[in-house]
Amino acid sequence: MDSLRIASGTTACFSVALQIWKNWRTKSSKDISHGLIVLAYISTSLGIAYGVCLDKSAIYGSNVSLLGTYIILHCIKFYNDYRIVDDSVEV
């Protein structure tokens, strides 16, 4: 059963990692809402607490990894949304 939980956490982290890669490459995060990220923080935090209460490292470990990927995604979104683009420079 733990291997199923680990596979689930790995798949979730990989899906967020793909979104991180896309946002970094395109320099656009407009399709991701802050609400989604806040709900992801809440969800993964509850998952960590649940795993700690049950003393199941597969549960809280995968949620800690997922929380880390959401933090990276949020940082990239913040950077892309609030960076100043200088269009006056021609290449």
Only one residue has tokens 């880390």, namely: 68
Q: For residue 36, what pLDDT is reported? A: 87
Other C-beta atoms closer than 10 Å to the C-beta of 11 total 10
Contact 70, 40 (CB under 8 A): yes
CA 86 – CA 6 distance, rounded (Å): 44
Write out pLDDT tens, residues 60-84: 888 999 999 999 999 988 888 887 6
What tokens appear for 70 in the block? 């959401």
pTM for the structure as a whole: 0.77
What size, in residues, is the chain?
Answer: 91
Residues of the chain with pLDDT under 50: none
Q: Can you give the pLDDT at residue 67?
A: 93
Locate the DSSP E strands across the chain.
none
Q: For the chain, what are the domain ranges?
A: 39-80
